[in-house]
Structure 1
Amino acid sequence: MSSLQYLDFSFNRLSGEIPPYICSNLPFLEYLSLSGNMFHGGIPSTLLNCTYLQILGLSYNDFSGAIPREIENLTKLKELYLGINRLHDVRFPNLEELYLWGNNFSGTIPHFIFNASKLSILTLATNSSGFIPSTFGNLKNLKELSLSYNYLTSSTPELSFLSSLSNCKCLKKLDVSRNPLDGFLPRVVGNFSQSLEFIWMSDCNISGGISKEIGNLTDLISIDLGGNKLNGSISITLGKLQKLQFLSFRGNELEGSIPNVLCHLAALFQLHLRGNKLSGSIPTCFKDILYLDF
């Protein structure tokens, strides 16, 4: 019996099924990565007898079916990587990070996710359809949420799920890009935690104006609202976002002139405004921005 704690077989072109005796021979494993291979079939329940596991990586394989219920026995498990498989059910009581991109979840976002109260990172890209539930607001420890490249929409035109996410006071990254949200950008965006650093909502069929309250999010580093139907003018409150590095409003219906307050954003190095109805001249101060797209 070995006391090995760290085992990484990632991206080694291994195939077949996972040997069922791994955990019987290596009971003290804390880190196990089998990602990037060609394993197939179901995930053996014996793999989940490694009760000391804290990190388990199974992404980029061909696993199918449901995760065995025995995962509930892994009380020390904090990070679970399951991206790019053909899984359709999973249970996890104590996880802090869950990566489920590119699986086979059909219908709405799985309800069991909302029982994982310790989650800080959740990635569900390229998975689901249906409404985005307001229960995301129950995940009080959530720091990063990625729902991009799905077929998700809002249950109300006001994008009510955004109101629930304003309860996540630790949230730093929100990515709902490439979903047919079909609503309008509400003022509630300004109620997000001031720790929010990334807000990506491109190509979501969002309409309405840019709320002046967005200037309250003074930790923002990146804003991508491109490819929507936003109208009105560019809010001058953006000049308060002194940490902003990336700003995209490309492909909207914005009008008026480019506000000079954008010249005060010392950290800004990418600005995308192409495909709007803007008028007037381009401020000369933009000569210091590395990437301009008008």
Structure 2
Amino acid sequence: MAKLLSLLIMFILFIFFFFFFTPTLSCPPECQKQALLQFASLANFTDDELKSWNSSSDGCLFPFVKCSSSNVVEIHLGAPSHWRRPWRVPTSTVLTPLFHIRTLTYLDLFFNEIQGELPRDGFANLSKLEYLDFSGNNFNGSLPSQLFQLRFLQILDLSGNSFHGNIPPEIGNMTKLSYLYFSGNNFFGEIPTSIVSLKELKTLDLSFNSLSLEIPIDFGNLSNIDDLDLSSNNLTGIIPSSIQKLPKLDKLNLVNNLLTGEFPSWSSGLAGKIPDWISTHKTLVHLDLSENQLEGMFPQGLAEMNFEYINLSDNRLTGSLPPQLFGFNLLVLSLSRNNFYGKLPSNISNATRLVALMLDGNNFSGKLPKFISNINLCLLDLSNNNFSSNTLPDFSSNVNLRIIDLSSNEFSDEISTNFSQTTSFLSLGKNKFSSFPRNLTHMSNLKYLGIHDNKITGELSNSICQISTLQILILRNNSLQGSIPDCIFNLTSLQILDLSINHLVGKIPTNLGNLTGMIETPGEIFSNLIW
């Protein structure tokens, strides 16, 4: 009898290990439930939660699971979900039980602080997987080769981890991939040319890594791609002309690399050379090639495209701006820190949707056109140029304008203009103004006012005290006279006051210590004001 009982126990144990611990075999619903319970245990779920799930008739009743025909097919445990669990930093071994649920098609564990290397074995069992999101965890190490055996995978997101090493060329085997996100890791070496085999790819994001060498010349074979982001790497060489073959591309981001050569002359044909492609195809609307080493002039053809966002700042571009650039759909234009010159095109007022215009750090000259105030801008930065005039446009009617930076130009005489009452950042420093603005008291949202390094004379008016929102006031290096108005030190938001290099007299007010407000840095002001 004892021998029979022993044999029975051994048989039960054999069945249990046969179905649960043998990775290559199927796992029936009861086995799937046990895998989920072990997963929850390794993930440090609370005892009460484990008890409630233990009492479930099957694993399909677990709140983070979806089933089909009594088989678990989806696991949803991403952080933004209402089912966010208070995990106590589980390690990557938490994945091991899940490898036994061979029916899985969807696995979402993003932003759960899981740490460690991905298991070398197990991914091959998930042969039906179509969606895999491990983003925003603390995974490290290289990618296991079995991961690239998931031939039905359509979405793979490993962004925001610490993976390192080369991107394996086996990635080209995942021919069903439509969305690939590897951003924010430590991948290095070249972009594998096998990526061009992913004909179904719509989004490729390899940004914020340490990838180097040149962009594969055959990227034009990614005929379905509409979003290509290779920004913040160490890529070198020229932008391959094959990109012009991408008929569906609407976003190209190559910012912050080491790309060289002339500005690509083919850029006006990015959507193909079909005569009516603008009206029949999805056009390239977002172009960011900033922070590279590109040279040359602004291509005429590029200016005629239907862009919403253009950022070419921090390159070595030169020449004047073509009038065609300012189309109706343009929302953001940044050409900062290049060598552009000449006057602003007179048809800039056509860009009626423009919200941000950044032309700082160039050699533009001439008068600032009055019609620029008719555009409903949120941000206008024309600093560090050669604009000159003794009058400025009247910005008072622009209810959206938050940031105005006209510093380091050649403006002179009185500041005889009105600024929008919504403006929070106003910089007029390093010009040749001779008087203090007379119409600042209605600017009820002003936080930063800089009129330093000018030729302003006279006394500092008490009217400045009516701007109760001021956090930063910089009037250094002028010719201000008289005493400092006591009321300035009653501005409870004021944290930085610079009146140095003037001709002020008298004692420093005793209520200087009343300045107790909390300051926003200029960067915070910039980032919080527009979007």
Judge same fold: TM > 0.5, yes or no: yes
- 2-side partners of 1:287 and 1:279: how far apart? 23
State the TM-score, normalizing by the size of structure 2: 0.51
Q: Deviations over 1:22-75 (max 9, x none)?
A: 351x44333211223343443223223333322101123223123242x44434
Please name the residue that 1:290 is paired with. Answer: 402
Spell out the pairing of 1:132-281 with structure 2 (5 A cutoff). 132-154=239-261, 156=262, 159-165=264-270, 167=272, 169=278, 170-192=283-305, 194=306, 196-215=307-326, 217-266=327-376, 268-280=377-389, 281=391
Please name the residue that 2:116 is paired with. Answer: 15
Query: When the two structures are aligned, how many residues end up with a matched partner?
Result: 286
Please name the residue that 2:519 is paired with. Answer: none
Root-mean-square deviation (CA, aligned residues, Å) is 2.2
Q: Deviations over 1:92-135 (max 9, x none)?
A: 23210000113343222122432211110000112201112222
Query: Compared with structure 1, are the counterparts of its residues 17 and 82 closer, same or farther at alpha carbon in structure 2 (3 Å cutoff)?
Result: same
Structure 2 residue 155 is matched with structure 1 residue 48: no
Structure 2: where are the runs of 5+ without partners?
A: 1-26, 28-71, 75-104, 407-531
- 1-side partners of 2:396 and 2:363: how far apart? 22
Q: Deviations over 1:121-166 (max 9, x none)?
A: 0001122011122221011110100010011123x4x642423436
Please name the residue that 2:230 is paired with. Answer: 124
Spell out the pairing of 1:75-154 with structure 2 (5 A cutoff). 75-83=175-183, 84-87=185-188, 88-90=190-192, 91=195, 92-127=198-233, 128-154=235-261
State the Cα distance separating 1:237 from its structure 2 match. 1.4
State the TM-score, normalizing by the size of structure 1: 0.89
Q: Which has the higher contact order (CA 8 A, sep 6+)?
A: 1
Query: Compared with structure 1, are the counterparts of its residues 72 and 131 closer, same or farther at alpha carbon in structure 2 (3 Å cutoff)?
Result: closer
| Structure with the bigger percentage of helix | 2
Indicate if the aligned counterparts of 1:133 and 1:161 stay in contact, CA closer than 8 A: no
- Secondary structure at the aligned position of 1:77 is classed as coil
Query: Compared with structure 1, are the counterparts of its residues 107 and 89 closer, same or farther at alpha carbon in structure 2 (3 Å cutoff)?
Result: closer
Please name the residue that 1:62 is paired with. Answer: 163
Structure number with larger C-alpha Rg: 2
Q: Deviations over 1:167-222 (max 9, x none)?
A: 48521100000111122223222222x2x21000011121100111113x321110
Structure 2 residue 73 is matched with structure 1 residue 3: yes
Query: Compared with structure 1, are the counterparts of its residues 234 and 285 closer, same or farther at alpha carbon in structure 2 (3 Å cutoff)?
Result: same
- 1-side partners of 2:260 and 2:178: how far apart? 30
- 2-side partners of 1:166 and 1:115: how far apart? 13
- Secondary structure at the aligned position of 1:106 is classed as strand
- 1-side partners of 2:119 and 2:357: how far apart? 45
Indicate if the aligned counterparts of 2:236 and 2:259 stay in contact, CA closer than 8 A: yes
Structure 1: where are the runs of 5+ without partners?
A: none
Bigger mean CA deviation after superposition, 97-106 or 82-91: 82-91
- 1-side partners of 2:296 and 2:169: how far apart? 38
State the Cα distance separating 1:224 from its structure 2 match. 0.3
